[in-house]
Amino acid sequence: MLDFTKIKTYPLLQRKNLVTLKDMIDPMSPPKPFRNLDLDKIAESIVRARRNGAHVIWMMGAHVIKSGLSLIIIDLMRRGVITHIASNGAVTIHDFEIALIGETSEDVATSIEDGTFGMAEETGRLINLAVQRGVHEGLGYGESLGKMIAENEEFKFKEYSVLYHAYKLRIPFTVHIALGTDIIHQHPKCNFAVLGEASGRDFKTFVETVTQLEDGVFLNFGSAVIGPEVFLKAISIARNLGFRVTNFTAANFDLKPIDDYVRRRSKDDPDYYYRPLKNIVQRPTSTGGVGFHVTGDHVVTIPNLYHLILSKIGGETFNLPSKASLVHSPELHLKEIAQNYPEVEDIAKRFMEENPHLRHLLGDLIKAYRALNRCFETGGSLFICGNGGSFADALHISAELLKSFKMKRPIPPHRRKMFNDLPLGGLIADSLEEGLRAIVLGANHSLTSAVENDNPTRNMAFAQELYVLARHGDVLLGISTSGNAENVFYAAVTAKALGLTVIALTGESGGRLSEVADIAIKVPASETSRVQEMHSIIYHALCEMLEVSLIRRIRDG
C-alpha cells in the first residue's frame, strides 16, 4: 500500500491561477443576448415555486464557479430564491480557494507533467481539517467548510464565497463527493472515512429536501455525472418512503446540444448515455412533472435566467421553507444518533437525568463518542494519557474497553474460526471477549524512564511513545484536571501532527490542552478531586456508549 504521507506539497500562493476576482460577473451587468423560450418557462416555474413556498434546488459542477458566477448565486440566495445548494467536491475547492486567496484554477496541463497538480498545501490541509472538525460537531461537508470560512480571519475574500453565504443564511449546501476525484484526496492529511461520513450526511440532508420537492424546481448546471445520479437516487428514496414527489420542474443546463429532449432514446443513440437527459429531464418527471434541457454556456444562460427571475419578482424576497433552514446544529442531534444506535440515545438521556449539573456537556460527550466509534469501526486505536489520578483514570478507561464492561462481548463467529483445530481452541475462544483497542501511554515504565533520562527536553515520554505507535485516524484522549500538564500537551501536539483526533478531558478552564484539541470536554469544576469525580461520570458514559455500538457491530456481523 502506498504511503500518502510522503506526498510533497507546495505553498498555495506560489501557484499561478487562471481565475481571479477580476473574472467575477457583476449580477447587475446586462447579460449577453440569448434566445430560448424554455428559459422563460423555467424562470416562471422558479418564481411560482417560491411564491407557493416550494423548494428550488440548485445543483452545479465546478465550471459555474470558475466562470465567475458566484455573485449571481449569492444574490439569489439572499433573495430567498434558492433554498438548497448541491454540488460535487470540485465546486467547494474552487469556492474555498476564492474565499482564501481570491484566486483559483491551476494550469492542469502544465502541473500534471511534474506531479504538482493538485498539490497546493493550504487547499488540501484546510479543507480536510474543516471537514474533520465539522464531523466531530455533527456537521455535513458543506456546512463544515462554510463554518471554517465564516470563523477564520484568513479568508479575506469570503464575500465572494457561496459556501460562506449558505452557512450565514442557513441554506443547506450539500456536497456529494466521489473518492479519488478531488485534489484534496491527494493530501497527506486526507481521511477518507471522515470525508465519506460528511458527504453521506449531506446526502441525507439532500434527500430530505427532495422529499419536499413537490411543486418545486430542480436545476442542474453542468454536473454530468454526480448531479444526475445523486438526484435520481434521492427521488427513489423519497418515493420509497411514501413522499409525494411527482409534480415538479427539472431543468438541465449544459453546452451539449440535445434535439427534442422529450423524446426517449434507444440504446443505439449516443444521447441515451447522456445521464442528465435520462436522470434529470426524463425519468424523474415521468409521473407528472416537466423537464427541460437548455443548451448554452453558463456565462450566458445563468445571467439570463437571473435577469428573467428578477424581472418577475422585482424587489420581492422569500422566506425559506420551514424545513429548508434545518441545518445540522453544532449541538449534535440525538435523533440522528438514535437512527443508528438507539441504545446510545437511552444512555445519553440517562446521563442527563442523573447528572443535571453536566447536561450542558452532552454535546461534547456525543462528539467524543462519534470520533471514537468511527476510529474503532475503521480498525483504529485509542491512546490515553494523564498524570497521577488521571493516569489511574486512563488505566480504568482502557480496562473498560479492552474487555466487557456492562455487557457480554462474545467474539464474532469469523474470529472464533481462527481457533478451530488448535489445542484447547474451543475453550480459549469461549473465554475470550471482544474488545476495543485502548493503549495507555506511560504504562511502559522502562520506556518512560529511558526517555526522561536521555532526552534533554523534559516530559517527552508520552509524545515519544505516541509518535512510534500511533497511525493516522487514531484518537488521543488527554486527561488533565488543569489542562496544562506539559507531557499531555506535548502528546496532543504530536497527535495533531500525525493526523489523530485529539479529545481533551479537563477542568472548567480547559488550559492550553483544550486549545489544541478537536473536542474539549471541560467539566464545571477546578478543584482536582471534584474534577476527577466528574471525569469518572463522563468516561463511564462514554465507555457504555462505545460498548453498545461494539455489541451492535458484532450482532450485525
Evaluate if residue 353 carries a pLDDT over 70: yes
pLDDT digits (tens, 9 = 90+) for 356-378: 899 889 888 988 998 999 899 88
Query: Cα separation of 70 and 162, whole Å?
Result: 6
- Residue 243 region, left (φ>0) first, then alpha (ψ -120 to 50), else beta? beta
Q: What residues contact residue 205 under an 8 Å CB cut-off, 6+ apart? A: 140, 172, 174, 327, 328
- Per the structure block, which three cell numbers stand in for 437? 483497542
Please give the mean pLDDT across all residues of the chain.
93
HSE-CB for 234 with a 13 A CA cutoff: 28
Check residue 67 and give its pLDDT: 97
Q: What is the mean pLDDT of residues 465-488?
A: 96
pLDDT digits (tens, 9 = 90+) for 68-115: 999 999 999 999 999 999 999 999 999 999 999 999 999 999 999 999
Mean pLDDT check: name the lowest of 126-135, 152-161, 265-274. Answer: 265-274
How far is CA 46 from each of CA 5, 38, 82, rounded to the nearest angstrom? 47, 12, 9
The pair phi, psi for residue 26, each rounded to 5°, is -70, 120
pLDDT digits (tens, 9 = 90+) for 395-449: 999 999 999 999 999 998 888 999 999 999 999 999 999 999 999 999 999 999 9
Rg of the chain in Å (alpha carbons): 26
Check residue 326 and give its pLDDT: 39
Q: What is the mean pLDDT of residues 485-502?
A: 95
Chain-centre distance of CA 132, in angstroms? 7
Check residue 509 and give its pLDDT: 94
**What band does 349 get if pLDDT is binned at 50, 70 and 90?**
confident
Helix (H) or strand (E) holding 508: none
Check residue 337 and give its pLDDT: 64
Percentage above 70 pLDDT, the chain = 96
Check residue 234 and give its pLDDT: 97
pLDDT digits (tens, 9 = 90+) for 495-527: 999 989 999 999 999 999 999 999 999 999 999
Chain-centre distance of CA 276, in angstroms? 26
Check residue 448 and give its pLDDT: 94
Q: What is the mean pLDDT of residues 139-150?
A: 96
Mean pLDDT check: name the lowest of 141-150, 209-218, 322-331. Answer: 322-331
pLDDT digits (tens, 9 = 90+) for 37-64: 999 999 999 999 999 999 999 999 999 9
Per residue, the 3-state secondary structure of 261-322, as one string, reads CCCCCCCCCHHHHCHHHHHHHHHHHCCCCEEEEEECCHHHHHHHHHHHHHHHHCCCCCCCCC
Query: Cα separation of 531 and 529, whole Å?
Result: 5
Check residue 555 and give its pLDDT: 85
DSSP-based three-state secondary structure for 114: coil
DSSP-based three-state secondary structure for 215: coil
Q: Report CA torsion sign: 197, 199, 200, 206.
A: positive
Query: Cα separation of 18 and 444, whole Å?
Result: 55
Check residue 473 and give its pLDDT: 83
Sheet holding 173-175, edge to edge: 173-175, 84-87, 56-60, 217-221, 249-254, 290-295
Check residue 332 and give its pLDDT: 46
Query: Cα separation of 277 and 148, whole Å?
Result: 36
For residues 241 and 230, the answer to whether their CB atoms sit within 8 Å is no
Evaluate if residue 529 carries a pLDDT over 50: yes
pLDDT digits (tens, 9 = 90+) for 375-386: 998 889 999 999
Query: Cα separation of 345 and 342, whole Å?
Result: 5
Domains and CATH numbers, the chain: 45-313 (3.40.910.10), 334-556 (3.40.50.10490)
pLDDT digits (tens, 9 = 90+) for 296-348: 999 999 999 999 999 999 989 998 775 443 344 434 446 656 665 677 888 98
Percentage above 90 pLDDT, the chain = 82
Buried residues in 495-522 as b, exposed as e (16+ CB within 10 A): bbebbbbbbbbbbeebbbbbeebbbbbb
- Residue 68 region, left (φ>0) first, then alpha (ψ -120 to 50), else beta? left
Helix (H) or strand (E) holding 198: helix 192-210
**Placement of cell 497511525 in the chain:** 471
DSSP-based three-state secondary structure for 374: helix
**Placement of cell 486505536 in the chain:** 381
Q: What is the mean pLDDT of residues 476-498?
A: 96
Check residue 322 and give its pLDDT: 54
